[in-house]
Amino acid sequence: MTSDEEDVAAILGGDADRFERIVGRYKGPLMQLAMRFTGDRSTAEEMAHVAFVSCYRALGTWQRKSAFSTWLFSIALNVYRSHLRRAQPSIPLDEELPSQTSLEETISEQQEAAIVRRAVAFLPAKYRDPLVTFYFLDADLAETAAILRLPESTVKTRLRRGRHLLAQRLERQLTRGKR
Amino acid sequence: MIDPERIEAALRRRSDVEPSPFFERRVMNEIRAEAPAPLAFPWRQLAAAVMAGAGAVTLGVRLFPADSFAAAAILVCAASLAAVERVVSLRA
């Protein structure tokens, strides 16, 4: 039995305090996942908070068909997506972004990742969600499709188009940076 | 053209963002306020009830061959009521 399974069993047995261990283990990843959808730190934190509470409420429905982390991330993804349907993503102000930086210039890997993350946050949701799920969660095609409740063929197409759109947008940024 | 591999690597890279220090406490305060703990959904009981229902139908057909449909319906209703009662009492 994994530590996640042990904790879930204890919580379902009535020990709600054991949920603190789950929060401790996953607060970082859930916060980082939220930052892929919104650049605003406090919004990301609020989203992660709601995701944990939703997870606690739904804990009894986890059927152990998938890893606990996969199940938790799929709950968080739904929370984040529904949050963003009501609000537009904001520009990540708390990440150190070089202004008008080109990807060809020498910039740190962290800055490069921040630029890409910002571009992803502004993609249409149908491309953003598969990209985030596939790459951030390191999920394979089948897992991504299961989490997003889409056919694998649709996920495959959206990943391809999403990557293309992302490259186009980054290219535009690159061109602007050169002017 | 930007190297697609660089984009993919950037997409996979995780940042070191962590929530604020009191995040855990805030979440746990809400969780404790939500107590009692959520109950495990009684999958086993539900499966047992379904199997009992299926058994009842078979038995009903054997016992009352002349009016097997009515007998089966009565037995299924009884089994379903017992299952619902069991689920409700578990979640109460």
Sign of the CA dihedral with A19 first, then A25, A28, and A29 last: negative
- pLDDT of residue A96 exceeding 50, the answer is no
Is A52 near chain B, with CB under 8 Å?
A: yes
Q: Give dist(CA A118, CA A110) in Å, integer.
A: 12
| Better-scored residue on pLDDT, A119 or A100 | A119
A92-179: CATH, from 3.40.50.150, 3.30.43.10, 1.10.10.10, 2.40.50.140:
1.10.10.10
Give the nearest partner residue to A56 out of B7, B13, B38, using CB atoms. Answer: B38
Q: How confident is the model at residue B35 (pLDDT cuts 50, 70, 90)?
A: low
Q: Which of B11, B39, B43 sits opposite A135 (nearest CB)?
A: B11
Give the B window 10-69 contacts with A, CB below 8 Å: 10-15, 17-20, 23-24, 26-28, 30-32, 34-41, 43
A10-60: per-residue pLDDT in tens? Answer: 998 888 899 999 999 999 999 999 988 887 889 999 999 999 999 999 998
Predicted TM-score of the model (pTM): 0.67
Length of chain A (residues): 179
From B24's Cα to the closest Cα of chain A, the distance in A is 6
Size of interface A-B (CB pairs under 8 A): 118
* Non-local CB neighbours of A170 within 8 Å, separated by 6+ positions: A103, A115, A116, A119, B2, B7
Residue range A12-23, pLDDT digits in tens: 888 889 999 999
Q: Which fold has domain A1-87?
A: Rna Polymerase Sigma Factor; Chain: A (1.10.1740)
A104, two tokens: 């060809």
Q: What is the mean pLDDT of chain A?
A: 84
Kindly identify which residue of chain B lies nearest to residue A16, measuring between CA atoms.
Answer: B37
In this prediction, residues A62-81 reach a mean pLDDT of 89
The answer to whether A116 and A83 have CB atoms below 8 angstroms apart is: no
Q: Under an 8 A CB cutoff, do B23 and A103 touch?
A: no
Phi, psi of B24 (to 5 degrees): -60, -40
Domain ranges (residues) in chain A:
1-87, 92-179
pLDDT over 70 at A104, yes or no:
no
Interface with A, mutate which of B5, B11, B30 (most A CBs under 10 A): B11
pLDDT in tens, A110-156: 777 888 888 888 899 899 999 999 998 888 899 899 888 899 999 99
Of A19, A57, A95, the CB nearest to B28: A19
Q: How far apart are CA A120 and CA A89, in angstroms?
A: 10
**Cis peptide bond upstream of B65, omega within 30:** no
ipTM tops 0.85: no
